[in-house]
Structure 1
Amino acid sequence: MTSWDPALYLSFDDHRARPFHDLLARIGAVEPRRVVDLGCGPGHLTALLSGRWPGAAVTALDSSPEMVAAARENGVDADLVDVRDWTPAPDADVVVTNAVLQWVPEHVALLPRWLEALPSGAWFAMQVPGNSSAPSHHLVREVLDQPRWRGSVAVGDGDALPEPAAYADLIAGTGAEVDVWETTYLHRLTGADPVLRWISSTALRPVRDALPAAEYDRFRDELAPRLRGAYPPRPDGTTWFPFRRVFAVARTA
């Protein structure tokens, strides 16, 4: 299991939170009994669920001890649970999983099981990044393919996640009503090597965990100029970072 750095992850909180808001806006639940934040991270967005549905019991779960500890520090009563072991409770009327399932290769098999276990009329909402073939990720694989690091880190090939239509077919196959869409956000980043800083808290986690500290620093030093070439700063010093995300909101039959 790779480790998380909650503080580094939250350094781009304003950008990372926007898809959560967009996902939440498409959920039509009025008075759910229980709302589940499946993969709550540091808990900074869980409060939005409590605010939207103040009468509901809110359950926050995450598989990272670091994230659960950070969530508890933020006042969220989070539990350490691997989503692969999770089963919806009978009163789980809303389940939200935001930027989580890309870390769970077998989630395609889990989705039908979860949806079929949810009560009738329940809402399931998910969002996953869809940018694994973008330069930010392709360049990581390119550097890892150099002799110095080849074979030291297991990375995906850029085709790990289904396309939106595949998610739509999978979810509709359970009998649920489903709305699937994709959005490419154009994030305006600032500071030195902002794309490198962004992926350091997500895509580079397996690299950081697999390499000794000195080797990881060397890896970042080699990656940084490639990212600057792919995402050049504007004259004012800011950088545009396109980021594609895939969304699905379903209501069970």
Structure 2
Amino acid sequence: MLLTLLARFDQVVSVGQLVDEIWGVSAPRRANAALHVHVSQLRKLLRRGKSTESPIVTRSPGYVLDLGPDELDLLDFQQLLRTGKAHQRAGEHEEAVDDLKAALDLWRGPAHGAPVTGPIISGFSAWLAENRLECIDALVESTLALGNYSDVIGFLYTMIAEQPLHEMFYHQLMIALHRSGRRADALRVYQTARGVLRGELGLEPCQSLRTLHAAILVESEVGPLVH
């Protein structure tokens, strides 16, 4: 229930939606009564200081999590991502790296610690994951633009292990390796990407990866932000 309210913070979530998120098709006969118990427990847990005030507010046709501007670190993450990308567009890569690193430092792991199938939480989790990937892509690009190739090599290997179908990581790693004088390793990364994509999806690497691979093969000059 808390995850659902967080996913729709400052918006009313109906009783029916909460029942679907918590129990799905296995909702008990007295689901509404059980929901009221959950609300009561969460209100006690989330009381602000010694007051009886709780951020969970009853509002027809359900409940809303009423948060202040400094009570959800997701808002800080979004602001840091926006400013970091703005610095990047302006060519201010040192400032971009600072903001994007600060945004990623807010992450402590997955968006939630338990498997969920409800449409609100699963959709919110997918959206969060895409935002994190966007932030990582931007951070690596600005780091490459500063010429700090070795700083991202180990990190990108880790990210590829976590997200083996995200082609941008292979692209960025190939550039970092090639620019670090590790041409053979860069070519091996392409072969790894090709094997994974063909094995998992039956697809060849995207055009940008194929172009980069061909450029490295002929020792062409490869710009750090080629896509």
What is the TM-score with the length of structure 2 in the denominator? 0.23
Relative to the length of structure 1, the TM-score reads 0.22
Q: Considering fraction of residues, name the structure with more strand.
A: 1
Higher relative contact order (CA 8 A, sep 6+): 1
More helix by share: 2
